[in-house]
Amino acid sequence: MKILVLGGGPGGYVAAIKAAILGADVTLIEKKEVGGTCLNVGCIPTKALLASSEAFDMVNKAKEYGIEINGDVKVDFASMMERKNKIVEEMIKGIQFLFDKKSVKLVRGFGKLIDKNKIEVTKENGTKEVIEGDKIIIATGSKPIVPPIFPYDGENVITSDEALALENAPESMIIVGGGVIGCEFGQFFKKIGTKVTIVEMAKQLLNYEDKDVAKQLLRSFKRDKIKVKTNKKIEKCEIKGKKVTAYLDGGKTIEAEKMLVAVGRKPNIENIGLEELGIEIENGKIVVNEKMETNVEGVYAIGDIVDSPFLAHVASKEGIIAVENALGKDKKIDYKAVPRCVYTDPEVAAVGITEKEAKEKKIEYKTGTFQFRGLGKAKAIGKFQGFVKVIADNEDRIIGAAIVGPHATDLLAELTLAVKLGLTVEEVGDVIHPHPTLSEGIMEALHDVHNQCVHSV
């Protein structure tokens, strides 16, 4: 079986390697670097920069831990960027190494479907090559949305792509959007000295999460002196010289050196042959079933181009599902337990349904919470802001959870498994958790669902 994968992001490259492991002859077509948005201008580079700003923050707080530092502590922005670039390069080489080991053929160029078994690849030098296969998996990813109101020039008004390639840290920045991208970049730049203002149209940061989660993050942002303007709309935006001015509803204005537009992403599906092939598109996304199949036999679609969460780990799972079905298995995607992660300080992580969703769906539920300040480990490491919240239905099954606090994104795995398997509060709460650890916060929150939490007031 010969499988063609169009796009080398976390969906495409994982699908290609999985197909090779299962014995297929695999060719992956990618016009840029493998790794896609996640590795090149998303997940990995942003986390590398956040690690640098966290290290700077910890050095400045060293005295709280009994450590005296003599001399100036300064940010070397160029070195931060160099470290980030090195990590990205190493990971790209890692994927290419896996391709070589698994015999995945990599063809560089822009791919366009010309029928259900052929992709035409336009190389950088203008030459074209037609590659044939038995099955095709489309994984072309997404790109930043920039509404027309913003005079995007890639220099004064930028997206996350340009933010990751800046040569100098700006003195001031307006961030449009209080979602994951806006919050992460906002905290990074503020910690290294940039004056940051986040403008969000919704009533809260991270609008898809519960109010208590958003409030905890807002509290942290206020501590860091990040200005946050929620429930505000930018009506006009101008570039004057080297400054950007945003005019808000209500008459107020904000001026900054840079404006980062972080209002979301859109599927990257233009000019890849979908219409010509008759592939169904709805609301700008490719329509697929639970097997990741399009309406054209033998053609699959995964990742940001389909109607599922714009998350790297979702794309990877969809890629595996698509490959297994392409090779004759009967697999279906399940979105019940998709982790949602924000790598701010404190981190935010959630899975399953929120309280807000439970109320909208009229699901009877109960919650249990526990504050990190009640944990010895959290006190010992000096990171005790935040809480764990567990949401259970009337049959005691864990249907959702949220963690705001240190290492929240790592801690979430236990609760993700619980939601996926339909485990009960009692079942998971009966597990002996190690002491002293942050994971005890999960145990305590589970006990709190039944008002049996030993360490709560």
- Supply the CATH classification number for the domain 340-449: 3.30.390.30
Q: Could you tell me the fold of the domain covering 2-143+266-326?
A: FAD/NAD(P)-binding domain (3.50.50)
Please count the other Cβ atoms lying within 10 Å of the Cβ belonging to residue 55. 12
Tens-place pLDDT, residues 282-322: 999 999 999 999 999 999 999 999 999 999 999 999 999 99
Ranges of the chain with pLDDT below 50: none
Please count the other Cβ atoms lying within 10 Å of the Cβ belonging to residue 147. 12
Burial class (CB in 10 A: 0-12, 13-18, 19+), 85: middle
| Enzyme catalytic residues | 435
Main-chain phi, psi angles of 352, to 5 degrees: 70, -155
Tens-place pLDDT, residues 50-82: 999 999 999 999 999 999 999 889 999 999 999
> What letter would DSSP give residue 372?
G
Please report, for the chain, the start and end positions of each structural domain, with discontinuous segments joined by +.
2-143+266-326, 157-263, 340-449
What per-residue confidence (pLDDT) applies to 420? 98
Residues contributing to the annotated binding site: 47, 111, 140-142, 177-184, 200, 264, 304
- 259: nearest Cα among 283, 274, 275, 240: 240
Going along 201-360, which residue ranges are E strands?
A: 227-230, 234-240, 243-248, 253-256, 258-261, 265-267, 281-282, 285-286, 299-301, 340-342, 347-352
Tell me if 236 sits within 8 A of 251, measured CB to CB.
no
Is the N-terminal amide bond of 339 cis, ω within 30° of 0?
no
Cα gap 181→43, rounded to integer Å: 10
Burial class (CB in 10 A: 0-12, 13-18, 19+), 394: exposed
Tens-place pLDDT, residues 180-199: 999 999 999 999 999 999 99
Residues contributing to the annotated binding site for FAD: 47, 111, 140-142, 304
- What CA–CA distances, in Å, run from 167 to 155, 159, 163, 204, 278? 11, 15, 9, 32, 44
Cα gap 292→301, rounded to integer Å: 6
What per-residue confidence (pLDDT) applies to 457? 74
- Second-level CATH architecture of 157-263: 3-Layer(bba) Sandwich (3.50)
Please tell me if the domain spanning 2-143+266-326 has the same topology as the one spanning 157-263: yes
What per-residue confidence (pLDDT) applies to 142? 96
What per-residue confidence (pLDDT) applies to 256? 98
Tokens at residue 14, please? 């994982």
End-to-end CA distance of the chain: 62
What per-residue confidence (pLDDT) applies to 144? 96
Beta pairing class for 2-6 and 25-30: parallel
Cα gap 346→348, rounded to integer Å: 7
What per-residue confidence (pLDDT) applies to 238? 96
Give the residue carrying structure tokens 């790297």: 312
What per-residue confidence (pLDDT) applies to 71? 87
Tokens at residue 371, please? 């504050």
What per-residue confidence (pLDDT) applies to 401? 98
Tell me if 48 sits within 8 A of 83, measured CB to CB.
yes
Tokens at residue 285, please? 């996304």
